[in-house]
Structure 1
Amino acid sequence: MAGWPLVPETDTPGKREPEPPEDDATAVSGTGRTAERPLRSPAFRWFFLGRSISMTGNAMSPIALAFGVLEVTDSAAWLSVVTSAAMVPMIATMVLGGGIADRYRRDTVLRLTSLGAGLSQAGVAALLLTHRDPVLLLPLCALNGVFQGLTTPALRGIVPNLAAGRGLQQASSLLASVRNTTRILGPAAAGLLTSFAGGGWTIAADAATFLVAAVCFARISLPALPPRAEDAPTMFGELRQGWQYFSSRPWIWTVTLAFALFNAAHMGIWQILGPVIAHDTIGARGWGLVLSARGTGALLATVVMVRLTVRRPMVPALSSMTLAAVPMILLGTGADTLWLATAAFVSGVVAEVFTVVWETVNYTHIPERLISRVGAYDECLSFASIPLGQLSTPLLAAAFGTAAVAVAGGGVAAVAMLLPLLVRSLRRLEVNRGSG
Structure 2
Amino acid sequence: MTDNTYKSGAEALIPVPVEPPTLWNRNFRLFFTARAAAVLGEGTVPVAFAAGLLGAGRPGSAVGYALGLWTAAFAVFVLFGGVLADRFTARRMMITADLLRLPGAALLAVAFAVGSPPLWAVYGLSVVAGVGAALFQPGVASTIPRIAPDVQRANAVLRVVEALMTMAGPALAGLLVALWNAGAAFAANAATFAVSAVCFLLMRIPPAPPGGRQRGSFASELALGWREFRSRSWLWGVISIWTVYGLTVAGPMVPLTASLVTGGHGSAVYGTLMAVNGAGSALGGLLALRIRPRRPLASGAVALLGLPVNLALLGLGAPVPALAAGQFVAGTAFAYWLVMWSTAVQTHVPQEALNRMHAYDVAGSLLMMGVGRALSGPVAGLVGPEAVLLAGAGIAVLVVAALLSVRPIRDLPRAPQEIRSLS
Within 5 Å, give how 1:7-86 maps onto structure 2. Answer: 36-39=21-24, 41-86=25-70
Amino-acid identity (%): 27
Q: Quick check: 1:262–1:417 contact (8 Å CA) kept in 2?
A: no
SS of 1:370 mapped into structure 2: helix
Q: Which residue of 2 aligns with 1:193?
A: 176
Go from structure 1 to structure 2 and tell me whether the alpha carbon gap of 1:35 and 1:81 turns closer, same or farther (over 3 Å shift). farther
Q: 1:317-375: CA deviations, max 9, x gaps?
A: 11221321222222121111111111111111110110111111112111111111111
Determine whether 1:211 maps to 2:190: no
Residue identity in the other structure for 1:162: I
User: Deviation at 1:285?
Assistant: 3.0
Q: What is the DSSP-based 3-state SS (H/G/I as helix, E as strand, rest coil) of the residue aligned with 2:304?
A: helix
User: Residues 228 and 414 of structure 1: is their aligned pair in 2 closer, same or farther, counting only changes over 3 Å?
Assistant: closer
What is the 5 A alignment of 1:76-155? Answer: 76-130=60-114, 131-155=116-140
- Aligned counterpart in structure 2 of residue 352 of structure 1, from 327, 332, 335: 335
Aligned-partner Cα distance in 2 for 1:91–1:35: 39
Structure of higher RCO (CA pairs closer than 8 Å, 6+ residues apart): 1
Q: Measure how far apart 1:229 and its partner are.
A: 8.1
- Which residue is equivalent to 2:153? 170
The alpha-carbon distance between structure 1 residues 267 and 128, as it changes in their structure 2 partners (threshold 3 A), is farther
2-structure distance, mates of 1:311, 1:67: 47
Are the counterparts in 2 of residues 115 and 214 from structure 1 also a CA contact under 8 Å? yes
- Could you tell me which amino acid in structure 1 is paired with residue 98 of structure 2? S
Match of 1:259 in 2: 242
Higher helix content, 1 or 2: 2
Conserved 8 A contact 2:87-2:215? no
Q: Against the structure 1 CA distance between its residues 196 and 42, is the aligned structure 2 distance closer, same or farther, given a 3 Å change threshold?
A: same
Q: Does the C-alpha gap of structure 1 residues 230 and 174 become closer, same or farther in structure 2, counting only changes over 3 Å?
A: closer
Is this contact kept in 1: 2:51–2:177, CA < 8 A? yes
For residues 182-331 of structure 1, the aligned pairs below 5 Å read 182-224=165-207, 232-331=215-314
Note closer, same or farther for the CA distance 1:231–1:156 as it changes in structure 2 (3 Å cut).
closer
1:332 match: 315
Q: Does the residue aligned with 1:311 lie in a helix, a strand or coil?
A: coil
Q: What is the rounded CA distance, in whole Å, between the counterparts of 1:230 and 1:403 in structure 2?
A: 54
Q: Which amino acid aligns with 1:341?
A: A
Whether the 8 Å CA contact 1:124–1:141 is kept in 2: the answer is: no
Compute the displacement of 1:300 (Å).
Answer: 1.3
**Which amino acid is 2:33 matched to?**
L
Aligned-residue CA RMSD in angstroms?
2.1
Contact 2:152 2:343 in 1 (8 A): yes
1:322 and 1:418 in contact (8 A); partners too: no
Provide the rounded CA distance (Å) in 1 between the counterparts of 2:345 and 2:239: 12
Query: Who wins on radius of gyration, i.e. which is larger?
Result: 2
Q: Which of residues 389, 401, 415 is equivalent to 1:418?
A: 401
Cα deviation digits, residues 281-329 of structure 1 (max 9, x gap)? 3333332232222111111121232232111121121122132122222
CA contact (8 A) 2:298 2:403 kept: no
CA distance in 1, matches of 2:146, 2:20: 10
Q: What's the CA shift for 1:224?
A: 4.2
2:218 counterpart letter in structure 1: M
Partner amino acid for 2:37? I
Residue in 1 aligned with 2:379? 396
Pairwise CA distance, 1:106: 1.6
Distance 1:104 1:284, change over 3 A: same
Q: Structure 1, residues 62-81: CA drift from partner, whole Å, max 9, x if none?
A: 21222112122431111111
User: Conserved in 1, the CA contact under 8 Å of 2:249 and 2:389?
Assistant: no
Decide whether aligned partners of structure 1 residues 312 and 227 sit closer, same or farther in structure 2, where only a CA change above 3 A counts. Answer: closer
The aligned amino acid for 2:188 is A
Query: Secondary structure of the equivalent of 1:326?
Result: helix
- Cα pair 2:237 2:409 within 8 Å, conserved: no
C-alpha distance in 1 between matches for 2:385 and 2:212 = 58
* Equivalences, count: 401
**Consecutive unaligned residues in structure 1, runs of 5 or more:** 1-22, 24-33
Distance 1:299 1:257 in 2: 27
Q: CA deviation at 1:267?
A: 4.3
Partner of 2:355: 372
Deviation, structure 1 residue 432: 6.1
Aligned-residue offset at 1:133: 1.2
SS state at 1:237 partner: helix
State TM-score, norm by structure 2. 0.89
Alignment match, 1:3: none
After TM superposition, give the deviation of residue 104 of structure 1 in Å.
1.5
Letter in 1 for 2:200: F
* SS at 1:159 equivalent: helix
Contact 2:310 2:329 in 1 (8 A): no
Distance 1:253 1:87, change over 3 A: same
- In structure 2, how many angstroms separate the alpha carbons of the residues matched to 1:409 and 1:394? 14
> What is the DSSP-based 3-state SS (H/G/I as helix, E as strand, rest coil) of the residue aligned with 1:239?
helix
In 2: Cα distance, 1:311 partner to 1:360 partner: 12
Greater alpha carbon shift after TM alignment, 85-94 vs 99-108: 99-108
